């Protein structure tokens, strides 16, 4: 799982990267590994660097962070503008140096592969998008700045799409609608969407809030308002599933470009969560048990070997 060779004099710092599409459990695994290996987590999700709409960005809540220090998570305000890959490279490099200086393991987690590539590629050109349809594999630099152990947490699309549709419903139940209503700015939303305003949910509810602004968002909902609301929720689910396909394409491009990435299959754990039991799998294990067996134990053994390497 090592990427790149150490220089003749100074060995490269070791880091772990956890990537994957939205909703596969990357943040959960990062906390599991950080606890096991005394690590600190560096967020590389381009939406989760912002504060303000934590439900929409699926920012890991404090009670699930397990006391593990997190860097670049909710540190920026929406009005700060859009954080570019080049800026992320600089900020995350400083975070890695800080974690390493404490003698701890830096664990990078996030599905924004433009950020992951910008941070890790030895030769990074901010003027080139390596994931653009017109870009060739030669734009994916196989030589990395760090000695890396990279995991891809994957889930079969059919299972993941159902999980994500359920997750949108849970986000609504948790107060997403109210959070977006407070965040909505009709002046800003008439212009280009930058930074956190690209988050799924903001655009989808734009039409609703333009038709039914907060001052009119009281009283009985008529059929038109209900339909507009349901259209926004449906659009969120569709765009989330489309995002999965785009994220997976980028991971595959990294692999084809020379990145060594270990795939972890979390399908059974997510399926058990959907079914509330894994009896259909004939294992009699809970989702948590399957996650521990299929994902945590395998990744822990891989990281152990990685850290023992010279």
Q: Is the pLDDT of residue 155 over 50?
A: yes
Q: What is the pLDDT of residue 210?
A: 87
Report how far Cα 12 is from the mean position of its chain's Cα atoms: 25
Q: Angle 116-118-119 (CA atoms, 0-180°, nearest 5)?
A: 65
- Name the fold adopted by 14-159+248-308: Rossmann fold (3.40.50)
Q: Give the C-alpha distances (Å, rounded to integers) separating 234 from 132, 165, 217, 246, 276.
A: 28, 9, 20, 19, 24
Report, in angstroms and rounded to the nearest whole number, the Rg of the chain calculated over CA atoms. Answer: 20
Q: What is the pLDDT of residues 69-106, one digit of tens each?
A: 999 999 998 888 889 999 999 999 999 999 999 999 99
Percent of the chain residues past pLDDT 90, beyond the cut: 71
The mean of the pLDDT values for the chain is: 89
Strand boundaries in the chain, DSSP class E: 14-20, 39-43, 70-71, 105-109, 147-154, 262-265
Q: What's the rounded mean pLDDT across residues 128-155?
A: 94
Q: How far apart are CA 99 and CA 101, in angstroms?
A: 5
Beta bridge partners of 117: none
> What residues does each domain of the chain span?
14-159+248-308, 161-240
Which of 254, 290, 255 is closest to 271 using CA atoms?
A: 290
Confidence of residue 5 (pLDDT cuts 50, 70, 90): very low
Q: Is the dihedral of CA 51, 44, 20, 70 positive or negative?
A: negative
Write the DSSP string, 232-292. HHHHHHHHHHHHHHHHHHHHHHHHHTT---EEEE-HHHHHHHHHTS-GGGTS---HHHHHI
Q: Which residue has the tokens 């859009």?
A: 82
Confidence of residue 10 (pLDDT cuts 50, 70, 90): confident
Lowest mean pLDDT among 7-16, 119-128, 184-193: 184-193
**161-240 fold:** Helix Hairpins (1.10.287)
For residues 256-262, average pLDDT: 96
pLDDT-derived band at 9 (thresholds 50, 70, 90) equals low
Beta strand 105-109 pairing with 262-265: unpaired
The predicted model gives 293-309 an average pLDDT of 95
Residue closest to 249 by CA, chosen among 88, 23, 25, 20:
20
Q: Residue 115 CA to chain centroid, in angstroms?
A: 11
What residues contact residue 27 under an 8 Å CB cut-off, 6+ apart?
60, 64, 109
pLDDT at 276 over 80: no
The confidence band for 2, taking pLDDT boundaries of 50, 70 and 90, is: very low
């Amino acid at each position: 799982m090592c990427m790149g060779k150490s220089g003749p004099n100074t060995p490269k710092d070791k880091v772990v990267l956890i990537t994957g599409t939205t909703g596969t459990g990357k943040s959960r695994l990062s906390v599991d590994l950080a606890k096991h290996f005394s690590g600190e987590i560096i967020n590389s999700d381009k939406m989760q660097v912002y504060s303000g709409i934590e439900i929409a960005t699926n920012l890991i809540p404090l009670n699930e962070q397990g006391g593990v220090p997190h860097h670049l998570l909710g540190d920026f305000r929406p009005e700060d503008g859009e954080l570019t890959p080049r800026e992320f490279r600089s900020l995350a490099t400083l975070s890695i140096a800080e974690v390493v200086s404490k003698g701890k393991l830096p664990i990078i987690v996030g599905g924004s592969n433009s950020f992951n590539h910008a941070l890790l590629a030895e030769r990074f050109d901010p003027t080139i998008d390596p994931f653009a349809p017109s870009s060739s594999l030669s734009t994916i630099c196989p030589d990395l700045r760090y000695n890396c152990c990279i995991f891809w947490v994957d889930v079969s699309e059919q299972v993941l799409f159902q999980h994500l549709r359920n997750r949108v419903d849970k986000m609504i139940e948790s107060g997403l609608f109210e959070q977006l209503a407070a965040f909505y700015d009709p002046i800003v939303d008439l212009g280009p969407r930058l930074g956190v305003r690209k988050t799924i949910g903001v655009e989808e509810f734009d039409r609703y809030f333009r038709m039914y602004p907060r001052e009119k968002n009281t009283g009985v909902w008529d059929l038109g308002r209900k339909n507009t609301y349901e259209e926004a929720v449906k659009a969120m689910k569709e765009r989330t599933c489309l995002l999965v396909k785009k994220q997976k394409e980028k991971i595959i491009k990294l692999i084809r470009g020379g990145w060594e990435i270990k795939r972890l299959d979390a399908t059974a754990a997510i399926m058990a969560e959907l079914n509330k039991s894994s009896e259909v799998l004939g294992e009699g294990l809970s989702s948590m048990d399957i996650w521990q067996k299929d994902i945590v134990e395998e990744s822990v053994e891989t990281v152990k070997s990685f850290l023992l390497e010279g």
